[in-house]
């Protein structure tokens, strides 16, 4: 039930309980008994299973934090294995409510999580990779942890880095941003306008509603307007501007002479960005493939001209140059692919042995798996479940999330085969 996100209080429903008794042939305990005894038992089983799968292996760790609906700072810890011949497994291992978010609390969470993983003593030389976002306190935490984990490389999420570049594109084209925002409002809670849109343009979808915190969705929205400019413009102009301020504004921005040219420029030069972000988040891709995606974007952006194009390329180069760990794994990848032979000529930590570097073949360069755990967290913490105690919430999420990760890995394996 926990893995399927079915609340235990559903057992108070007589018909559901009778259904379970009939088809399982077992007595069904009361929900209170399950919470007090079975939930913790299932949680400990999952932890022990993860410990067994990680035993004797090199690992990577990813940490990120979010603010939940209750205003709490929640940090999630993902642990994964690094294997020589195939992508390793990964697990949601810990969830912690933080009193504040800074490098000190992140370092403490990192240490405590690995003590939980290895109760007999942390295997510091087995931790080869740390993935996080590029927040200053995360970068500082990575620098601090390197003292304790001498072989660890700290890479800040490349997908998040490309999203920051996409944000720079949005800033460079404020009128396009206003167009996207106002057209979105035109159809928000407006069934008559939605119906008219479907009638006038039955073969295209409604204008997308980009969520600025979701990587690359604003660029994808702009591509929609570039492809359907005249159709959407005609529909917007058919509405009475006095009905809503959003209609008046949308009509105004559609009439701007530079609008079509701006949409064309973004479409021509940046359509590759959301595609790259999606590809980077794919689970199990080799390190060389992830690096090639970034290098392809960098190569395309280096050819940009004009004030906006040059500024956007500068943003990309700044993001990449600040990601010192990414430069290190690029050098490791050169060794793994045979492009370079002399390790001494490359910026690679001296503590990393030849054997250690071999385990980076399928290393990830994004923290997308942590983001997926937060999506499941928000599903569990629905408005009607706001009284959920955090400790029970944590155990439920770890049970559900690892079941989800296992299914996702199995699906990827089937697709590869």
- What pLDDT score was predicted for residue 76? 94
Residue 402 predicted with pLDDT over 80: yes
Tell me what pLDDT residue 71 has.
Answer: 87
pLDDT digits (tens, 9 = 90+) for 50-70: 999 999 999 999 999 998 878
pTM: 0.86
The CATH T-level fold of domain 8-157+356-416 is Nucleotidyltransferase; domain 5 (3.30.420)
Q: Does pLDDT of 6 surpass 70? A: no
Residue 345's pLDDT band (boundaries 50, 70, 90)? confident
Q: In whole numbers, what is the pLDDT of the chain averaged over residues?
A: 89
Residue 22 — very low, low, confident or very high, per pLDDT cuts 50/70/90?
confident
Here the tokens at position 132 are 């996080």
pLDDT at 408 over 70: no
Residue 109 has pLDDT above 90, yes or no: yes
At residue 12, the pLDDT reads 65
For the ranges 14-23, 68-77, 143-152, 406-415, the maximum mean pLDDT occurs at 143-152
**Least confident stretch, 89-103, 153-167, 251-265, 382-396:** 382-396
pLDDT digits (tens, 9 = 90+) for 228-275: 999 999 999 999 999 999 999 999 999 999 999 999 999 999 999 999
Categorize the per-residue pLDDT at 375 as very low, low, confident or very high, splitting at 50, 70 and 90: confident
pLDDT at 292: 97
Predicted local confidence at residue 8, as pLDDT: 58
Per-residue pLDDT at 403 exceeds 70:
yes
Question: HEC string of the chain?
Answer: CCCCCCCHHHHHCHHHHHHHHHHHCCCCCCHHHHHHHHHHHHHHHHHHHHHHHHCCCEEEEEEEEEECCCCCEEEEEEEEEECCCCCCCEEEEEEEEECCCCHHHHHHHHHHHHHHHCCCCCCHHHEEEEEECCCHHHHHHHHHHHHHCCCCEEEECHHHHHHHHHHHHHHHCHHHHHHHHHHHHHCCCCHHHHHHHHHHCCCCCCCCCCCCCCCCHHHHHHHHHHHCHHHHHHHHHHCCCCCCHHHHHHHHHHCCCCHHHHHHHHHHHHCHHHHHHHHHCCCCCCHHHHHHHHHHHHHHHCCCCHHHHHHHHHHHHHHHHHCHHHHHHHHHHHHHCCCCCCHHHCCCCCCCCHHHHHCCCCCCCCCHHHHHHHHHHHHHCCHHHCCCCHHHHHHHHHHHHHHHHHHHHHHHHHHHC
Segments making up each domain of the chain, as ranges = 8-157+356-416, 159-287+298-322
Residues whose CB is less than 8 angstroms from the CB of residue 149 and which lie 6 or more positions away in sequence, other chains included = 124, 127, 130
Residue 114 in tokens: 């690995």
CA distance 137 to 153: 16
Q: Is the dihedral of CA 147, 150, 152, 156 positive or negative?
A: positive
- The tokens for 177 are 């941003």
Which residues have C-beta within 8 Å of that of residue 404, sequence separation ≥ 6? 372, 376
C-alpha–C-alpha distance, residues 80 and 58, integer Å: 9
**pLDDT value of position 260:** 96
Query: What average pLDDT does the segment 268-287 reach?
Result: 94
What does the alpha-carbon distance between residue 351 and residue 343 come to, in Å, rounded to a whole number? 12
CA separation for the pair 368, 21 (Å, rounded): 40
């Amino acid at each position: 039930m926990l893995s399927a996100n079915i609340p235990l209080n559903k057992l108070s429903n007589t018909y559901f309980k009778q259904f379970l008794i009939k088809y399982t042939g077992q007595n069904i305990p009361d929900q209170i008994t399950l919470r007090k005894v079975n939930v913790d038992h299932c949680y400990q089983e999952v932890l022990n299973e993860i410990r067994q799968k990680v035993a004797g292996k090199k690992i990577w760790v990813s940490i990120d934090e979010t603010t939940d609906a209750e205003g709490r700072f929640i940090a999630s810890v993902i642990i994964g294995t690094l294997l020589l011949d195939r992508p390793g497994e990964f697990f949601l291992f810990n969830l912690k409510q933080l009193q504040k978010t800074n490098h000190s609390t992140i370092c403490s969470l990192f240490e405590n999580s690995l003590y939980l993983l290895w109760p007999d003593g942390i295997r510091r030389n087995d931790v080869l990779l740390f993935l996080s976002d590029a927040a200053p306190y995360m970068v500082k935490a990575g620098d601090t942890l390197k003292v304790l984990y001498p072989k660890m490389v700290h890479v800040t999420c490349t997908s998040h880095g490309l999203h920051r570049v996409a944000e720079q594109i949005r800033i460079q084209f404020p009128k396009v941003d206003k167009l996207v925002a106002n057209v979105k409002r035109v159809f928000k809670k407006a069934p008559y306008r939605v119906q008219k849109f479907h009638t006038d343009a039955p073969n295209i979808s409604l204008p997308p509603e980009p969520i600025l915190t979701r990587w690359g969705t604003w660029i994808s929205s702009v591509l929609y307007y570039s492809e359907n400019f005249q159709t959407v413009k005609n529909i917007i102009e058919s509405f009475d501007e006095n009905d809503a301020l959003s209609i008046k504004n949308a009509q105004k921005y559609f009439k701007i002479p530079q609008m079509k040219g701006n949409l064309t420029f973004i479409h021509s030069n940046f359509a590759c960005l959301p595609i790259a972000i999606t590809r980077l988040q794919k689970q199990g891709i080799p390190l060389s493939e992830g690096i090639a995606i970034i290098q392809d974007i960098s190569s395309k952006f280096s050819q940009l001209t004009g004030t906006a194009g040059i500024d956007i390329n500068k943003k990309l180069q700044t993001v990449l140059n600040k990601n010192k760990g990414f430069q290190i794994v690029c050098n490791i990848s050169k060794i793994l692919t045979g492009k370079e032979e002399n390790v001494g000529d490359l910026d690679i930590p001296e503590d990393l042995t030849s054997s250690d570097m071999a385990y980076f073949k399928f290393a990830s360069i994004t923290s997308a798996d942590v983001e997926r755990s937060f999506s499941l967290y928000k599903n569990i913490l629905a408005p009607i479940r706001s009284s959920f105690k955090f400790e029970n919430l944590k155990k439920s999420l770890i049970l559900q999330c690892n079941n989800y990760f296992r299914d996702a890995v199995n699906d990827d394996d089937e697709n590869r085969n």
